[in-house]
Amino acid sequence: MVLGQGNPPGGMGGMGGAFGGLISVVMVLILMRKSPPGPIGRLIAAGATSPETALKPQTAKIVRLHELDSALQRGLVVRLDDGRCWVDVPKVRRRRWVIIVTIAIAAGLVAEGVYLAARSLHLL
């Protein structure tokens, strides 16, 4: 852009802005992958993946028991009568794939929307 011309039409910063938006989604996914394990990850790392190998949350270094509440409600973690917990790994994998596919579809729709907007504004 030449100095003094102002912003490009559309207010999105052109296709560079759209590219930056897509890169930000990828960076969020990378950061999520690199984050420390939550209670589900700790239980899996401790080997609590079946009723036979179930562990007390404290054994898996889960100090705050409320961390397990949402996983218990979703059925990703199962609590036995004696207080031990185990992770339903197939459910966790299905849920992760659903999240990944949903994010990919949303990113594709955003990219398509930006492309169509740029075409309608004759930026392409």
pLDDT tens digits, 82-106: 999 999 999 999 998 999 899 889 9
Domain boundaries, the chain: 38-87, 89-124
pLDDT of residue 29: 76
What's the pLDDT tens digit per position in 25-38?
778 778 777 766 78
To the question of pTM greater than 0.75 for the whole model, the response is no
- Contact 48/86 with Cβ under 8 angstroms? yes
Q: Any residues with CB less than 8 A from the CB of 87 and at least 6 apart, and which? A: 40, 43, 44, 48, 49, 76, 77, 78
Contact 51, 78 (CB under 8 A): yes
DSSP type of residue 122: T
